Amino acid sequence: MTTRIQQVLAETGLLAVAAFDAWLYADNTGDTIAYAALAVLALVFRRRWPVAAFLLTLPALFVSSSVVATVITLYALAVRHSNKGLLVACGLAAAIGDLYPWHDFEQLDANLVLDAIYATMTAAAPLFLGQLVRSLRDIRQAREHEREMDAQAVLARERNQLAREMHDVVSHQVSLIAVQAGALQVSTADPAAKDAAENIRRLSVDTLDELRHMVNLLRAAGSADTELAPQPTLSDLSKLVATSGIETRVVGTVPEVDPPVQRTIYRTIQEALTNVRKHAPGSVATVEFERADGELAVTVANTPSSRPVLALPSARHGLVGLQERAALLGGTVSAGPTEDGGFRLRLRLPLG
């Protein structure tokens, strides 16, 4: 509740500062007042539609040099978008709008140069601050993802250790019980003892079957009979792309293949998009499906990073796991940089 009140107060304060700035620079003409009111109103929508909000503040900036509303929308734009061309264009528009009401651009003098530098810095400051906040948010999300992956790895190791303990200790002892019960059933002449021995042997065998099933579940080897939960298929690919956090397009027809092949393709694309987000922030990824010469090729390629690459910790086991998955199906995985500075990962699987 306190955080919500603080957000409301901060939002009200920004609107009040922008309104005061617009009133301070506005004259008494109806057009100027209307443009100032439009600029202040645009701030309400800056988080959802930052580009539109920025454009709505430009009339007031060009007419009266009321700059606060434009600076606020520039910051919101930089937090939301990473397209350098868009940010530079908006920054130039803001700088020109800040200069326009006060100078004759046909005459170049020292005052114009100084004011141009000041206007450029005024426009650049919110853009750089917004990009910094965006980078910090990406770092936080990447670290949270790393923690989740580490926790899953620890859980997998614990499951494998528990599976080994169950197999080596419990399975061995239950097997001995079953063998001794069978021997007692054969050697005794007492009907009651025979029935008891038969019950013990049957229960021991049933327990071994259940134990083997539990061990397979704990190991989660990846086959259809040993998965801990419903596994993803290529029908979930659109959701994976939509939630990847990067701009991704799919080229080619998604193939209809067996569930184990679908899981391998899905996990390969998932790992590749995760690496793109970690190691090439701001890039565009392409997922391409191709069929040729009895093979299915799935390629995930990305353009060079448009933002500084963050130095994030990595266990470097992802590619090894993908190669092992592909090898189980008779396929291969290759990866390497592209000529334009991007990266490409290709999975090849035999069809049939």
Phi, psi of 106 (to 5 degrees): -80, -20
Listed residue (264, 275, 191, 279) closest to 231, CA to CA:
264
Q: Each residue of 135-158: b (16+ CB within 10 Å) or e?
A: beebeeebeeeeeeeeeeeeeeee
Give the C-alpha separation, 231 to 267, whole Å.
10
Q: For residue 111, is pLDDT > 50?
A: yes
Which band of pLDDT confidence, cut at 50, 70 and 90, is reported for residue 351?
A: confident
Helix (H) or strand (E) segment spanning residue 250: strand 247-251
**Which amino acid is located at 63 in the chain?**
V
Q: What is the pLDDT of residues 40-68, one digit of tens each?
A: 888 888 888 989 888 888 888 888 778 88
Cβ–Cβ under 8 Å, residues 268 and 285: no
pLDDT of residue 318: 66
Cβ–Cβ under 8 Å, residues 211 and 170: yes
Count of helix runs (H) and strand runs (E) in the chain = 11, 5
Mean pLDDT of 59-86: 85
Mean per-residue pLDDT of the chain: 79
**Residue 293, token pair as written in the block:** 């010469």
Give the C-alpha separation, 126 to 72, whole Å.
7
Distance between first and last Cα of the chain = 59
Q: What is the pLDDT of residues 211-259, one digit of tens each?
A: 766 766 666 544 444 444 456 788 889 888 887 778 899 999 888 888 8
Q: What is the pLDDT of residues 291-335, one digit of tens each?
A: 988 899 999 999 998 876 654 444 455 677 788 888 888 899 999
Cβ–Cβ under 8 Å, residues 214 and 226: no
Total-model pTM: 0.46
